[in-house]
Amino acid sequence: MAESNTAPTPAPRPRPGCFGTLALTLLAVVIIGGIVVWKVVDAGFGLKWLAEHFQKSSITEVFRENVRRIVSTNGDVLELATLESEETVTKFDSKTLFDVVYLGTTESEIRAMVVYRYHLKLSDDWSLSVRDGRCMVIAPAIRPSLPPAIRTETMEKKSAAGWLRFNAAENLSELEKGLTALLEKRAATPGKIRSVREAARLSVAKFVHAWVLKEQKDLEQGGIREIVVVFPDEAGAKNEAEALKQPATLHLEVKAD
């Protein structure tokens, strides 16, 4: 009987079983867990990395929650700054006869110290973001608190009638009646707003620090070094490059690890 020259078929390789799959899974978990632990534990980077990622996702939400709580308990106004200024208001009343004969001008004047107060509405739009240790705040607009307070003890009045006029007292009385309305208009002028802007900016920064960062210890420990506040009418509110140029409004004391 002739012998067969056919080579024997090799046995199939054994596939990895459940034990091998479990071992690979455990190895992957160990590697990923090690990376996460390194980021969290590492004193120079871990806490900062964790806090920055937390800040970007939740700082505005945390602030809005605080604002809602404040609005519900203490009203919708955050007082920012006061400005005391000596104001002079004058009323002229000229008259002619048949537009030909000049009868004179009555001039009345009131001078007094006026206290202007400024605030913002907590329910208006806010924007907070964190980048490279800076908490950037776009705050609501500065508003005058009306009416301004007139310090009546400082008030000085005078009125003089023209050479053919006899209405000095009447002209002064009309000026007094319209005094509050005139001062309210002055309170909202750009010049007055500019006068209190820096004081208002600092008040906003302290408010944000007290109601957000102070309550969120992780944020402070994450390395926020300063708070920067801009208002809606400033270039930094609409242009990121300008916002980055804005000097710090409030420097924070970062706690050592």
Name the residue range of residue 72's domain.
41-251
Flag whether pLDDT at 18 surpasses 90. no
Q: Is residue 19 part of a domain?
A: no
Q: Is residue 153 part of a domain?
A: yes
Helix H or strand E encompassing 152: strand 143-160
DSSP annotation of 44: T
> Any residues with CB less than 8 A from the CB of 9 and at least 6 apart, and which?
none
Better-scored residue on pLDDT, 257 or 240: 240
What count of other Cβ atoms lies within 10 Å of the Cβ of residue 14?
A: 7
Q: Is residue 3 part of a domain?
A: no
| Cα 156 from Cα 242, distance rounded (Å) | 46
Confidence tier at 95 by pLDDT (50, 70, 90): confident
Whole-number percent of the chain with pLDDT over 90: 45
Q: Is residue 115 part of a domain?
A: yes
| Cα 96 from Cα 120, distance rounded (Å) | 48
* Per-residue pLDDT tens over the stretch 29-66: 666 665 554 444 444 444 444 344 444 446 667 677 76
Please tell me the number of Cα atoms within 13 Å of 240 on its side-chain side.
4
Q: Is residue 202 part of a domain?
A: yes
Dig out the tokens for 216 from the structure.
């969120």
Flag whether pLDDT at 189 surpasses 60. yes
Phi, psi of 97, rounded to the nearest 5 degrees: -100, 115
From residue 46, alpha-carbon distances to 34, 39, 74, 124, 152 in Å are 12, 4, 39, 35, 61
The secondary structure of the chain as a DSSP string is -PPP-PPPPPPPPPPP-HHHHHHHHHHHHHHHHHHHHHHHH-TTTHHHHHHHHHHHHHHHHHHHHHHHHHHHHH-SEEEEEEEEEEEEEEEEEEEEETTTEEEEEEEEEEEEEEEEEEEEETTS--EEEEETTEEEEEPPPPEEEEEEEEEEEEEEEEEE--TT---HHHHHHHHHHTHHHHHHHHHTSHHHHHHHHHHHHHHHHHHHIIIIITT-HHHHHTT--EEEEE-TTSGGGT-HHHHHHSPPSEE--PPP-
SS3 107: strand
> Any residues with CB less than 8 A from the CB of 46 and at least 6 apart, and which?
38, 39, 40
Please tell me the number of Cα atoms within 13 Å of 246 on its side-chain side.
27
* Per-residue pLDDT tens over the stretch 128-139: 888 888 889 999
Q: Is residue 130 part of a domain?
A: yes
Mean pLDDT for the stretch of residues 226-232: 95
Better-scored residue on pLDDT, 60 or 89: 89
Q: Is residue 140 part of a domain?
A: yes
Write down the pLDDT at residue 129: 86
Q: Is residue 9 part of a domain?
A: no
Provide the domain count of the chain: 1
